[in-house]
Structure 1
Amino acid sequence: MWWSILPQIIGAAILLIAPGLLVALAVRFRGFDAVALAPALTVGIVVVTSTLTPFVNIRFGLVPVAVVSLLVAAAGMFAVRYRATRQPAAPRQRMRPLSGPWTLGGLVPFAAFGVAALLVAASVVRAIGSPQAFSQTYDAVFHLNSVKFALETGQASSLTIGGMTGGGFYPAGWNAVAVLVASTTGAEVPVAVNITSIVIAAVFWPLGCLLLTRWIVGPRASATVAAAIACASLGAFPLLMMDFGVLYPNLLAISLLPAAIALAASLVGLAPGSGRRDLATALTLLLGLAGLVVAHPTTFMAWVTWTLPMAGFLAWRSFGASWRNRRTGRGRFTKYVLSVSGYSIAFVALWIVLRPPADASFWGPRGTVPQAFGEALVTSPVDLSPAWLVAPLALFGLWSCFKVPKRLAWLGLVFVLFAGLYIVAAGFPKSPTRDFLTGVWYNDSFRVAALLPVIAVVLVAVGIDWVAGALPAARKRYRYVDRAVEGPARWSAPARLACRTAGGMVVVLTAIVLGQQGGLKEEVQLTSSHYRLEADSLLVSPDELAVLKRLPHSVPEDAVLIDNPYTGAALSYALGDRKSAQLHILSYVSPELQKIYDALGQVSTDPSVCRAVREEHGFYILDFGSKEVHGENHTAAGLTRLDQNPGLQLIDSQGEAKLYKITACGS
């Protein structure tokens, strides 16, 4: 079944890589670096385009994105070349590459990415089940309907998407990306959303992880392959964001996070694998951050949090020289103080201001502090089974960071910081302190848990890179190590090479198999349970879906359906092409709609109810019973005992799903 949409998946991947790749090449990134930066740049371009199109009164889609891509690429090329003619290039402190970008060694990251992409795609496909499946979760109502809304209105701007529910600004980075995929491939909304999820999880995420590890840790092949396998071996991301929520915006934003971190590290000199501290890197970071903050502001704050250990590490490393020369080099010391003070003020200001409202951060702890500590330590948050491959390697990588503290100690601090945040969210009782520390992420342990894999993947690469770096000395010192690597001395050179190759393949295959166990295997099953279409599905059952699919034949195109959105009936818009009065569970309810909800039982005797029906154009009632997505009961008084209402006529039904027409108010 998935093979039928494979061309659309490949087309969507090209669609979401090409704009960013064009810009990356224009500002002189090459090889794998250019490809790995492309997703972040594409999302930045899509966000800029979707924001601008309402102001110039054109529909958002492929053509505007292509035009903006060309303009941004041209501007970037001009800026970089103009800068180069005005100022000599700074010497590049670059880690010695193992090979050129298109030689055999240079193809290693592409091969590693291919392995990771296939592994992640396989997990996502198993979790979703079929191309037409959709998430049976609370937030699925908004996300699927928002894509339909944007396709109909022609706008996917953060300034317009919120209007679907009667709200204002909504960070619509994911919505714009999904709409671009839907409008270009022509896929139905659920299929387009699933295609987008596959591309984000299997393309964006591995590319970002490999870029980050190669820039910070180095280009050694063993570390690159280890990072590729590790990023495809964790249940906490990307699948967790497709399971809980469903949090598609977080799925996109966290997939972009590694590239933004890599660019920041490069700018401040903590990415020896890049060595670029130029205007192109700064411009690329700005465009990437534009996409990141609109994809989801809380993940932008995760990026800000990553910069804290960077800044602290740099401040500590340069403090001694600045202090010793404070009298002779007063300007340098003043610059140091101003830099540290400015960063501190900006960090605190963002931490206080850029967070969701307090009433939205209602999530409580999931367990105890010791439990949360253990989960963070073995990369198995929110009750997942341990990550049998990643957990021990990440802990070894954490130890390795402090073996070379002058280069990598800050990475160890990143792990401590995010593990601490998870412990607070998952284990601390509700308190003002907890609100201050994790309210940025709604105090939600799931959202914080999904951030742990980023540092875990990097630590795996650090550990493997340390082993690979220490291996030559160990071979010289210990003969049995040399024999284990090279084989017996009596073997010929080709035999030794074949043995090393076979041994390496065995190690890689064993790592792949082990990585697919534990928390990842469990999360595939958990996610799958939220995509299955069954009689007891939380949102829409097979009978209800059948009624939704028949709506175009039983309900006029301009009609509005009255329903209880908590039951999944609001998905009539995305799945049945007929608009619900509430396109999200928390939509604005007009006085007229509230009148219908309260008094539909008196529609035959109360003229004010008919006036409200005509005002809302709500002549049809979609009844999916009382079962709600969260197991509660929000059924309005007017939507009860519909089968006994003399002012209604049953016009379609299947199982417990029923469609009524209001006959008491005329047509």
Structure 2
Amino acid sequence: MSAFPWLVLTLACLGTFLYLFIIGFAPIFLLGGKKHVFFSVFLSPAVAVSVLAAWAIASHYLKIPWNRENLLALGAVFAVAIIARLIFEVVNEKRHKQNRHKVSQHTFADSSTDSKKVRGSSDIAIEGKAKSKSVWNTGPLENNNGEINAKVTALLLAIVGIGFGLLYFSQFERPDLFSQTYDAVFHLNQTQWFISRQDGSSFHTNILGTNQMKGFYPSAWHDVTSAIAMLFGLKVPLATNVVSWWVMGIVWPFSNAAFAYVIGSDKRTKLVSFVLVASYAFVAFPYLIAYWGVLYPTVLSYSLAPALLALIYTFAQTRRIRTALLALGGILLLFVGVALAQTATVFLVAVLSLPAFYMFIRHILCDIKFPRWLAAIFAFGLTVALVLGLDNLSMRIPTIKHLRTAFVGWDPPYESFGDSLWYTLMGVVPMLMWTQALIYSISVQILCLLGCVWLVKHRRGTIVVAYFTVIMMAATLFSITGPWREYLFGFWYTDNNRLVSAIPIAAVQTLSAGMLLVYEWFSKQIKIVGKSKLLFKYPELTVSIVALGLYMGSAPVTAVMHQLSMIYDLDEDPIVSEELVSKDEFELLNRLEREVPKQDTILGNPWYGTALAQPYSGRKVLFPHLADSNNPDAIYLARNLNRAKVDPKVCPLVRKYQAYYVLDFSGNVLWGGRDKEHRQMNYPGLNNLVPLDLATVVDQEGEARLLKLTVCQP
């Protein structure tokens, strides 16, 4: 670790933001995103994820190594493309100015004879503008009257990103700590494996199998994290923390801002300002999933979802072919990103897109002269038919059918649907000690309901439908059991936290609309009492900053962040904190890079944290996850290594994998002492190696030891 770890972290965060901004902004800008610059900026993080995930797969087939040099080249190409497009725009603008100047000189002599005609055409244009239909009817991007205030938005984007970074990293004793949870071990090792093999393809990964290149796992998270680790020379745990900040502090609010941009129309500046801070009002996301699991792919896919929904709603509303084609292209690109981040989230996005599908069909029918009431009936019927058709189709796909029919032992937290709906509407389902945060929760939910009023008033009812749809889904999940639970929610593995964390995808929009409604009401009251201006030049900025402080400093958020700090903390009481590694074991992990040859493999019981040797040292481990290995060779060594002198099968396997080192961690075990003996049963061959004269101690920190085999040498 560097002598200045927090400086390294800060520079890595800045570098990550700049590199991924270039990767994401370039495709949009090249395709004509200059008209709505901030909309393009808001979409850029989501596009960056999609580009990297798709490029990782393409690199595999093109046999281009997934390494630092090629990633730098990719960024350089995109940066040059942006610069070239900017130069083209400047030159083109100068040419247009010169042409306009020539035309004005040519027509000046005839201006007196044509003055009436010019005035007449001008009057017609003004009248036509005044009589134009509402922006909602003509499309979300066709109106520039609500263009973003650059100063307010840029400042808020910086405040939100820095604010969340301070909140998040303040929970860490040091920046290279890891989430000591079951899922984190897999994700850290998968990321390191992508770096080691120089291949990030989601279609060629199975680290638990004999053939590790055969299998599929949605790996957009690992693609981004491995790219950042290689680009800036970071160890995987530190890169993981940097990308965690980028996803929750940049991708999530930017995606919400893109959705609000589409919804906001002429209210964009204020609605976008409020949505940026509303992104951090709900405990369910991003805070809950930041420590529960820890579900990095879900965090990423949920953060991408609002950006994809923004493009879907744009496509459903627009009346311009060019806008529709660009939106459709963006939908396809972001669909790739969401599907490769967490495939199950595609189902969630599809459900939240149903109101947009209804609106799209209704608009088409109205355009071909259907009566409004008849168009609404037909659109509703087609939407229901679409749902039933997709339901039937999904049951014909073996993998999805298995997810929707296999029993999963998750229990609902409430006995009745009424209780579930009530607590869901109050927003207290995922909260720790929620009774102490009841006032905060109810206040936020009241703002959400007021936001629904604002949205309906401004003809954004489809967003309200999406909000109540996800509310009803969560309330149903929290109250049912049996086969219907798997059938309806098997896409999410039917666990409670994964679905409750989806509520903010829609709720952030309703909350920001509620904040806007209250803001507008107070603005009118201030004007009534004779004040023509508020205290500050940009009052929405002031309100947003205050709201951000209230949200991030609220009791439920504080409680969840404390829980997160315990997950990352290297405590001496493993029964209380349920940690994988102790401080001594952590120190030894950080020395392995110097002590184990690069080509060698490390053995160890992963339930004691030995699997972390791979992401901290870059050395291979034979057991990269706490789940049982599918590799029969690894299983055999785990059970028989200490019989190397009498079992002729052992040494050939040791030499095959060059597994000459063993980590002997016997202190902490994940989830405390529960089921400890059962976990040891799967690795009996790794015990008593020194007493049996099979290994010597190479390094030791406290009770944590690194052993080197004295048998089976090459």
Match status 1:462 vs 2:471: no
List per-residue Cα deviations over 1:216-273 (Å, max 9, x = no partner): 144344333221221123322223222011111111111111110111011111x89x
Quick check: 1:254–1:299 contact (8 Å CA) kept in 2? yes
Q: Give the residue type in structure 1 aligned to 2:45.
A: P
- Count of residue correspondences: 630
Quick check: 2:156–2:541 contact (8 Å CA) kept in 1? no
Would the alpha carbon gap of residues 626 and 613 (structure 1) be closer, same or farther in structure 2, given more than 3 Å must change? farther
Aligned counterpart in structure 1 of residue 51 of structure 2, from 45, 51, 57: 45
Would the alpha carbon gap of residues 236 and 123 (structure 1) be closer, same or farther in structure 2, given more than 3 Å must change? farther
Aligned residue for 1:238, secondary structure, equals helix
- Distance in 1 (alpha carbons) for counterparts of 2:548 and 2:377: 50
- Distance in 1 (alpha carbons) for counterparts of 2:139 and 2:538: 38
- Distance in 2 (alpha carbons) for counterparts of 1:120 and 1:335: 42
List per-residue Cα deviations over 1:490-537 (Å, max 9, x = no partner): xxx7xx535365976774454233212122111111111111123336
Aligned counterpart in structure 1 of residue 488 of structure 2, from 420, 437, 451: 437
* Residue 512 (structure 1) aligns with: 548
* Residue 497 (structure 1) aligns with: 533
Would the alpha carbon gap of residues 69 and 585 (structure 1) be closer, same or farther in structure 2, given more than 3 Å must change? farther
Match status 1:17 vs 2:21: yes
List per-residue Cα deviations over 1:337-361 (Å, max 9, x = no partner): 7787456524653587474746695
Would the alpha carbon gap of residues 107 and 275 (structure 1) be closer, same or farther in structure 2, given more than 3 Å must change? farther
Aligned counterpart in structure 2 of residue 533 of structure 1, from 567, 570, 576: 570
* Residue 364 (structure 1) aligns with: 411
Q: Residue 592 of structure 1: CA displacement?
A: 3.2
- Distance in 2 (alpha carbons) for counterparts of 1:58 and 1:164: 25
- Distance in 1 (alpha carbons) for counterparts of 2:51 and 2:262: 24
Aligned residue for 2:459, secondary structure, equals helix
Would the alpha carbon gap of residues 263 and 352 (structure 1) be closer, same or farther in structure 2, given more than 3 Å must change? farther
* Residue 395 (structure 1) aligns with: 446
Which 10-residue stretch deviates more, 43-52 or 152-161? 152-161
Aligned counterpart in structure 2 of residue 279 of structure 1, from 310, 325, 337: 325
Quick check: 1:315–1:340 contact (8 Å CA) kept in 2? no
Equivalent runs, 1:156-235 vs 2, <5 Å:
156-163=200-207, 165=209, 166=212, 168-218=215-265, 219-235=267-283
- Distance in 2 (alpha carbons) for counterparts of 1:275 and 1:405: 28
* Residue 38 (structure 2) aligns with: 32
Aligned residue for 2:627, secondary structure, equals coil
Aligned counterpart in structure 1 of residue 478 of structure 2, from 426, 432, 438: 426
Q: Percent identity?
A: 23
* Residue 563 (structure 1) aligns with: 604
- Distance in 1 (alpha carbons) for counterparts of 2:343 and 2:81: 23
Aligned residue for 1:466, secondary structure, equals helix
Q: Give the residue type in structure 1 aligned to 2:428.
A: S
List per-residue Cα deviations over 1:404-444 (Å, max 9, x = no partner): 27823332222222122222333323x11010111111111
Would the alpha carbon gap of residues 550 and 10 (structure 1) be closer, same or farther in structure 2, given more than 3 Å must change? closer
* Residue 416 (structure 1) aligns with: 468
- Distance in 2 (alpha carbons) for counterparts of 1:397 and 1:383: 18
Aligned residue for 2:561, secondary structure, equals helix
Aligned counterpart in structure 1 of residue 649 of structure 2, from 605, 608, 611: 608
Q: Residue 13 of structure 1: CA displacement?
A: 0.5
- Distance in 1 (alpha carbons) for counterparts of 2:55 and 2:173: 33
Aligned counterpart in structure 2 of residue 638 of structure 1, from 670, 685, 689: 685
Q: Give the residue type in structure 1 aligned to 2:51.
A: I
Q: Residue 25 of structure 1: CA displacement?
A: 1.4
Equivalent runs, 1:58-77 vs 2, <5 Å:
58-60=64-66, 61-63=70-72, 65-66=74-75
- Distance in 2 (alpha carbons) for counterparts of 1:145 and 1:51: 19
* Residue 86 (structure 1) aligns with: none
Aligned residue for 1:526, secondary structure, equals helix
* Residue 83 (structure 1) aligns with: none
- Distance in 1 (alpha carbons) for counterparts of 2:261 and 2:235: 38
- Distance in 2 (alpha carbons) for counterparts of 1:391 and 1:405: 23
- Distance in 2 (alpha carbons) for counterparts of 1:502 and 1:106: 12
Q: Give the residue type in structure 1 aligned to 2:228.
A: V
- Distance in 1 (alpha carbons) for counterparts of 2:565 and 2:542: 30
Q: Residue 320 of structure 1: CA displacement?
A: 9.1
- Distance in 1 (alpha carbons) for counterparts of 2:141 and 2:650: 73
- Distance in 2 (alpha carbons) for counterparts of 1:213 and 1:140: 32
Aligned counterpart in structure 2 of residue 57 of structure 1, from 60, 63, 68: 63
TM-score using structure 2 length: 0.79
* Residue 306 (structure 1) aligns with: 352
Quick check: 2:623–2:634 contact (8 Å CA) kept in 1? no
Match status 1:295 vs 2:341: yes
Q: Residue 313 of structure 1: CA displacement?
A: 5.3
- Distance in 2 (alpha carbons) for counterparts of 1:388 and 1:194: 32
- Distance in 2 (alpha carbons) for counterparts of 1:211 and 1:389: 27
Quick check: 2:229–2:235 contact (8 Å CA) kept in 1? yes
Q: Give the residue type in structure 1 aligned to 2:502.
A: L
- Distance in 2 (alpha carbons) for counterparts of 1:448 and 1:169: 23
Q: Residue 283 of structure 1: CA displacement?
A: 0.6
Q: Give the residue type in structure 2 aligned to 1:439.
A: G
Match status 1:122 vs 2:166: yes
Which 10-residue stretch deviates more, 111-120 or 173-182? 111-120
Would the alpha carbon gap of residues 65 and 587 (structure 1) be closer, same or farther in structure 2, given more than 3 Å must change? farther
Quick check: 1:232–1:515 contact (8 Å CA) kept in 2? yes
* Residue 701 (structure 2) aligns with: 654
Which 10-residue stretch deviates more, 5-14 or 631-640? 631-640
Would the alpha carbon gap of residues 573 and 438 (structure 1) be closer, same or farther in structure 2, given more than 3 Å must change? same
- Structure 2: which 5+ runs fail to align? 87-136
Quick check: 1:266–1:275 contact (8 Å CA) kept in 2? no
Quick check: 1:533–1:540 contact (8 Å CA) kept in 2? yes
Aligned residue for 1:407, secondary structure, equals coil
Quick check: 2:358–2:383 contact (8 Å CA) kept in 1? no
Which 10-residue stretch deviates more, 339-348 or 139-148? 339-348
- Distance in 2 (alpha carbons) for counterparts of 1:639 and 1:66: 45
Q: Residue 379 of structure 1: CA displacement?
A: 2.7
Quick check: 2:72–2:231 contact (8 Å CA) kept in 1? no
Q: Give the residue type in structure 2 aligned to 1:118.
A: I
List per-residue Cα deviations over 1:543-573 (Å, max 9, x = no partner): 1122222323443332222211122101111
Quick check: 2:208–2:631 contact (8 Å CA) kept in 1? no
Q: Residue 51 of structure 1: CA displacement?
A: 0.3
Quick check: 2:53–2:220 contact (8 Å CA) kept in 1? yes
Would the alpha carbon gap of residues 189 and 637 (structure 1) be closer, same or farther in structure 2, given more than 3 Å must change? same
Quick check: 1:389–1:511 contact (8 Å CA) kept in 2? no
Aligned residue for 1:652, secondary structure, equals strand
- Distance in 1 (alpha carbons) for counterparts of 2:516 and 2:64: 50
Q: Residue 15 of structure 1: CA displacement?
A: 0.9
- Distance in 2 (alpha carbons) for counterparts of 1:7 and 1:348: 50
Q: Residue 9 of structure 1: CA displacement?
A: 0.9
TM-score using structure 1 length: 0.84
Equivalent runs, 1:338-349 vs 2, <5 Å:
341=385, 344-346=388-390, 349=393
RMSD of the alignment, in Å?
A: 3.7
Q: Residue 591 of structure 1: CA displacement?
A: 3.2
Q: Residue 448 of structure 1: CA displacement?
A: 0.9
